[in-house]
Structure 1
Amino acid sequence: MKKFIALFMVAVLLPVAAFSQEIAIPGRVHHSVPLRVSYPDNPIIPGESSTTGLPFNGSYVPILIVIDNSEDAHPHWGVSKADIMYQVPHMGRGATRLLALFADQVPEKAGGVRSARAPFVDIATTYGAAFAYAGHTSEELGKETSVPMNLKAANMQNKHFNLLGSLFNSRETHHNAAGHNLSCHVQDIKSNLISNGVVFIPRPMLFRDSLPEKGMNAQEIAINYTKDSSGVPNPASLSSFSYNKEQNFYVRSNTSGPYIDMDTGNIVPFANVIIQRVAIGWERGYLYLKNFGTSGAADIFSGGKYISGAWYRNGEDSRTVFVDESGNEFSFQRGKTFIVIADETVAVSYK
């Protein structure tokens, strides 16, 4: 009888153990998702935000700013009002910066702000957004990695703001190192754009009110960067996301703990997490995103599910469309989204 009970317990517990095992997602840029010939822009729904799917009736003035992601720069401020956040490589071996897109809500100040790289301009064009940063790579670098050349190519002459001047910025005393304390005056930039008649056209994402039916259960997500003999230059890039089933959001954590907004002291919740796989190229010591106007693999986490999908862009000035395994545009949970731009070397797993 005891032997039977023991065998029964093993039979019951083995599936549970298998279910809780960490599952590694293959690092790949290419995909086999059957994409459609085209993905028309989604209609603008009155009273609904194009970036969060939440109620919104204001003017669409998207502003993307560069946020310092070094360990000493945490916590950030103003970020709880961002609709979408990105983690984007700016050097090799795990060195990343964050990008915060403000549209629904605009804080008075947000930061700490750091310098721009060419990939950040690519992200801004995805939303047709204005772009704020503190310094940039030089024009002499070349068309792939020069920020001034990329801004000019994207026709953003009246939509970018270098905060190393005397306008739209201030120095705070939040952190010990002065390099982590630059604020972007986001509200002032929005007022400037409106007063100058700059027009922005929403590029709506799709949203749903129900949880996704398809996909694998995924309660925990881990993102790790490769090391060499000197280690990872920015441990803060390594992060995890834990799914809160009751509240239907993910909590991001890194070496500084749960991701909070210094202004509020509260956790910043994310309704969706995406790993957008993109090949990386190099030009004169600086990286750029290769073929960012085409398509690639995407790992989508939404509503406690993992969906192996893809992303698609119809050129360098179009929106990014995220699709499921069948090539259908994915409908996200309403709320904030966190997107990690990663090449094939970044290790992602879930359980």
Structure 2
Amino acid sequence: MRYKTISIIMLILCLTLVGCNGDAEVVESVNLIEEELTIGLEESNPVDMNQESDEQSEEVQEEVDSEDVVEEEEEVLPEGMAVNPLTGLPVREEAIEHRPVAVTINNLYSALPQSGISQADIIYETLAEGGITRLISVFQDIESVEKLGPVRSARRYFLDFALDQDAIYVHYGEDPAIMNVHAQLGVANLNGLSYLDTIMCWRDNSRVAPHNVYTNGEKIMAAWETVGYRKEKKEDHDMAFDFNEGDEVFQGTGQALKVSIPYSYYITGEFVYNEEEEVYKRYHFNEEHIDANTGEILTTKNIILQYTNIYQRPGDTEGRLDMDSIGNGKGVYISDGMKKEITWEKTGQYDPTQYYDENGNRLKINKGNTWICVLPLGTEVSFE
């Protein structure tokens, strides 16, 4: 608008000059006016190609950033949820505010079906005396378990599994030879065969003793509160597992669609891979391994075979066993229908067992629950 006004004024001046001067002077004056107007317009509306390019780049970058924000928001856990350090999966936020809980579960045929073990994040299965196995089931969210059992007695090497996870160890009775070991090692244990019996346990009258002792998350927490053990996890406690990110399929060195583990003459554990669900289903005693709470077969995402020296304890009249749980050895990691050779190492009583790949790096496993089979040296596991 300002330049239009100037143009009119300049035109009037030119007309005035016509009356006073010749045509040549008028043409020169008009040319000057056009030149000044052009310069004025350029100053008023400069066209900067670099600026336009920068603005377009900023717009594109803003769109990309916006997409990144959306992706990040999709990865954020729901409100009230946190990452379970035992599985890498979401769990109630309150559940990670305390230590895990490890519970000894009876695994005799007459004790089946067990209750609550499908909710375990980690299950250790290993031999006890007489060719039987017991399950040391580890839970981060123990409060959500409504019925758990049958609960059975402790053995010396079970304590190492609990220490691996800095867990409170729950059992009903114990090997007499380890009665003082709890105190010596500083293991936080809750023994139901004590004054804690009615606080922590009950008997299911539909089951025959000794396969009738049960507990649950609420009662375990009450017993824990009664004894007053530390609730917070040790800040310097190194967790046993690192987890893969994303949904990449584990690339092993051999097929493992079916895994058969002959623990003894009495029991063979089997895991069969379900490609649709991407988990292994568990069988033993030639039948499905069922959780009575759900009526469904047990499943696991990961399986670890850990080989070590398991031996009968000298002088034990009941044939009880012990094992070299501190040391190192070989193993196998199994997931997604595949397997690969690994190694394991436990450097001290309070140091968690670590697992390593073929290159000596810490083993990364898939997110999900894990079944750890601790086996005698020379156990011939078959893979199909």
Coarse TM-score class (shorter-chain normalised): 0.7 to 0.9
Tell me the SS of whatever aligns to 1:128. Answer: coil
Deviations 1:288-315 (A, max 9, x none): 112x222111111112111111111221
- The residue identity in structure 1 corresponding to 2:192 is L
- 1:179-328 superposed matches below 5 A: 179-193=210-224, 196=228, 198=230, 199-201=232-234, 203-204=238-239, 205-208=241-244, 209=246, 210-226=248-264, 232=265, 235=266, 237-255=267-285, 257-281=287-311, 282-285=313-316, 286-290=320-324, 292-328=325-361
Instruction: Give yes or no for the alignment of 1:104 onto 2:141.
Output: yes
- How many angstroms does 1:155 deviate by? 0.6
- The residue identity in structure 2 corresponding to 1:308 is E
Tell me the SS of whatever aligns to 1:179. Answer: coil
- The residue identity in structure 2 corresponding to 1:327 is G
Distance (Å, rounded) in 2 between the aligned partners of 1:225 and 1:262? 24
Distance (Å, rounded) in 1 between the aligned partners of 2:229 and 2:315? 38
- 1:169-188 superposed matches below 5 A: 169-175=201-207, 177-188=208-219
Unaligned runs of 5+ in 1: 1-44, 139-145, 227-231
Contact 1:272–1:336 at 8 Å: present in 2 too? yes
Unaligned runs of 5+ in 2: 1-76
Distance (Å, rounded) in 2 between the aligned partners of 1:240 and 1:125? 27
Contact 1:225–1:347 at 8 Å: present in 2 too? no
Tell me the SS of whatever aligns to 1:110. Answer: coil
Instruction: Give yes or no for the alignment of 1:129 onto 2:162.
Output: no
Q: Normalized per residue, which structure has more helix?
A: 2
Contact 1:163–1:184 at 8 Å: present in 2 too? no
Which one is further off, 49-58 or 188-197? 188-197
- How many angstroms does 1:150 deviate by? 2.4
Distance (Å, rounded) in 2 between the aligned partners of 1:77 and 1:300? 27
Contact 1:50–1:203 at 8 Å: present in 2 too? no
Check 1:350–1:101 CA distance in 2 against 1; reply closer, same or farther (3 A cut). same
2:82 maps to what in 1?
47
Deviations 1:235-284 (A, max 9, x none): 3x311100111211110100162222101112221000111111123232
Distance (Å, rounded) in 1 between the aligned partners of 2:335 and 2:355? 12
Instruction: Give yes or no for the alignment of 1:332 onto 2:365.
Output: yes
Distance (Å, rounded) in 2 between the aligned partners of 1:187 and 1:320? 29
Given the two structures, how large is their TM-score scaled by the length of structure 2? 0.70
Given the two structures, how large is their TM-score scaled by the length of structure 1? 0.76
Instruction: Give yes or no for the alignment of 1:76 onto 2:114.
Output: yes
Relative contact order higher in (CA < 8 Å, ≥ 6 apart): 1
User: What RMSD over aligned residues (CA atoms) do the two structures have, in Å?
Assistant: 2.1
Tell me the SS of whatever aligns to 2:250. Answer: coil
Check 1:183–1:246 CA distance in 2 against 1; reply closer, same or farther (3 A cut). same
Deviations 1:83-110 (A, max 9, x none): 1111121115x32211111113441330
Distance (Å, rounded) in 1 between the aligned partners of 2:286 and 2:111? 9
Percent sequence identity over matched residues? 27
Check 1:203–1:81 CA distance in 2 against 1; reply closer, same or farther (3 A cut). farther
Contact 1:261–1:268 at 8 Å: present in 2 too? yes
- How many angstroms does 1:192 deviate by? 4.3
Deviations 1:6-54 (A, max 9, x none): xxxxxxxxxxxxxxxxxxxxxxxxxxxxxxxxxxxxxxx9931110110
Distance (Å, rounded) in 2 between the aligned partners of 1:339 and 1:111? 19
Contact 1:113–1:133 at 8 Å: present in 2 too? yes
Tell me the SS of whatever aligns to 2:102. Answer: strand
1:20 maps to what in 2?
none
Contact 1:116–1:133 at 8 Å: present in 2 too? yes
Contact 2:152–2:173 at 8 Å: present in 1 too? yes
Contact 1:60–1:104 at 8 Å: present in 2 too? no
Contact 2:101–2:142 at 8 Å: present in 1 too? no
Contact 2:103–2:138 at 8 Å: present in 1 too? yes
- The residue identity in structure 2 corresponding to 1:319 is P
- How many angstroms does 1:191 deviate by? 4.4
